[in-house]
Amino acid sequence: MGHSMGSIVSYIVLNKNPDYNVKKYITVGSPLGLKSIEKYLGASKRMPECIKNGWYNAFDERDFVALKPLDKIHFNIRPAIENYDKVLNFTDNKHGIAGYLEDKIVAERIYQGLI
């Protein structure tokens, strides 16, 4: 799981380690869809080979860091990332990790990824 800058770092690490076995990759409050981040990701964006059962990305549309979904327009990779945009992050800046973890659907996805 990666939140904010952690989603960038973990994405890079996962792409460099195809032998890892990641059941489900979960990102929350991720800025990976921003053009300003794209230049740091290298020439080609791709689904890390080590991810076995997909990528789930949750964001609050009011989050000043996660401004874009990780979709075919902003982060075009295959297979497509499942985006969830119904988070209502209660933190002051709408970006805090606690606000994401309080969302029942996000918490359930994290739990399912761990079992």
What distance in Å separates the CA atoms of residue 87 and residue 20, rounded to the nearest whole number?
Answer: 29
- What percentage of the chain reaches a pLDDT higher than 70? 99
Summarised one tens digit per residue, pLDDT across range 27-64 is 999 999 999 998 888 767 899 999 999 999 999 999 99
What distance in Å separates the CA atoms of residue 61 and residue 32, rounded to the nearest whole number?
Answer: 14
Question: Looking up tokens 């990641």, which residue turns up?
Answer: 22
What tokens were used for 106? Answer: 């996000």
The answer on pLDDT for 93 being more than 70 is yes
Query: Which pLDDT score is estimated for 83?
Result: 98
Instruction: Please report which confidence band the pLDDT of residue 109 belongs to, taking 50, 70 and 90 as the band edges.
Output: very high
58, 100 Cβ separation under 8 angstroms:
yes
How many residues would you count in the chain? 115
